[in-house]
Chain A
């Protein structure tokens, strides 16, 4: 079972409330799909500068493997207050710990509500059915 302290999107991002802010990252499923299970196949991650305002669903960055590029989409609206710059030099962290050390951006959300996003249980079912 994946962590139930957060919510999930159909494009395989997670969002976790953290005090007044929210942390956003991608799931183990996303990392595995992109890298085919080989962390060395991840080559690049582009994250936004702090200060950028995002709409829900807006693309905030890209992650790239040897074979493919995927958009990173904001699960909720808000202002980027921090990016995890450590990721760009250490992409392996996404495979090793996508839930904690692999967080990508910290948002000051427009609203506190995470309604409409999947719970861990719902995401589990979504992935079990193929994840598409």
Chain B
């Protein structure tokens, strides 16, 4: 089991640690729902050291990535970030990721649980291209500060960069806690404004503590993966293994914004299969709310009367909406917001209603 450089810090904070994607990670420091509310009302600090961080360089980096990524990498402006996926020829994803376009290289942030498979896939697809693939995951760390107060709190620790010059889904480099040339991106997985901060292992603990100290009066607290999962579900963001996986494609998941069919991009792995899905989708990812006592969970089935019409991908109690929420696939014809369905809990039915995704977003209005 791998540990981030902050493992002992989490243990000292009293975190409950669980195995996640091959890493020992904090699932919560206190009540999960309070952690969700902390991020929504103030800001929260996350250890994301488990996520895969890979630098692709060399003269063919962009061309190679336009073969394996679903989005149009060559069209991303330098300094900007785009959501993308790696798909197999069948159009189903190996992973989803963020792509950071740099002047002479491309920086990728992938899911912890898929990093090994991603790297194997990239190395296989890189044959014949002049690229270098540098897995930086284990020597670097990654923190996220998310919430309305993230900007003001982080700015107090950044000496030579005005964070308001970094737009949403853009990145830059600044001096953070005296560490020059630190990567800062205005990204996150919570639906809040916020930043992700990339720091070498040796300095992670110092930056972590500095952010908590600087944010104490603003109410900044450490937040675990349990709250992160609810925050991303409220924000309508997919999680590999739930909304997308080896049998769930990005088109039906509503991730078209991360898939480019532009001729200029050239052919890419999964293009033909996903074009076919786009022309004739069978189901649609939707939001679900359910006021009953039971929380929808992955695998629960949805019914319209006696007809089974879908299934839940992720579910949670939402402190922000004060109801239970879920993401679910429904057969076409049931996707309209307001459609009344029922969730089956081992034979007991509970009413639910189809909603548009996201349930909540401060960044997408």
Contacts and interface: CB of A to CB of B under 8 A. Distances in A.
Interface of A: 36-38, 40-41, 43-44, 46, 64, 66-67, 69, 88
Given A36-B16, A37-B16, A43-B317, A64 B295 contact: yes
Interface stretch (B30-38, B65-73, B182-190, B303-311): B30-38
The 3 closest A-B pairs by CB, nearest first: A38-B31, A40-B31, A36-B16
30 contacts: A36-B16, A36-B27, A36-B28, A36-B32, A37-B16, A38-B28, A38-B32, A40-B31, A41-B28, A41-B31, A41-B33, A43-B293, A43-B295, A43-B317, A44-B293, A44-B294, A44-B295, A46-B294, A64-B294, A66-B32, A66-B33, A66-B226, A66-B230, A66-B295, A66-B316, A66-B317, A67-B27, A67-B32, A67-B226, A69-B297
A88 B294 CA distance: 11
Contact of B34 (A40, A44, A64): A40
Contacts of B34: 40
Nearest to A66: B32
B32 A88 contact: no
A43 B226 CA distance: 15
Nearest to B229: A67
Contacts, number: 37
User: Chain B interface residue count: which class?
Assistant: 10 to 19
Contacts of A64: 294-295
Interface of B: 16, 27-28, 30-34, 226, 230, 293-295, 297, 316-317
A40 B32 CA distance: 9
A61 to B, nearest CB: 11
Contacts of A43: 293, 295, 317
Nearest to B226: A67
Contacts of A37: 16
A46 B292 CA distance: 12
A11 to B, nearest CB: 18
Contacts of A36: 16, 27-28, 32
A6 B63 CA distance: 69
Contacts of A44: 293-295
Given A66-B226, A66-B316, A66-B317, A38 B293 contact: no
Nearest to B15: A36
Contacts of A41: 28, 31-33
B293 A88 contact: yes
A65 to B, nearest CB: 9
Which residue of A36, A40, A43, A69 has the most chain B CB atoms within 10 A of its CB atom?
Answer: A36
A74 to B, nearest CB: 16
Contacts of A46: 294
A40 to B, nearest CB: 4
Contacts of B27: 36, 67
A12 to B, nearest CB: 18
Given A41-B28, A64-B294, A64-B295, 11 more contacts: A36-B16, A37-B16, A38-B30, A40-B31, A40-B34, A41-B31, A41-B33, A44-B294, A67-B32, A69-B297, A88-B293
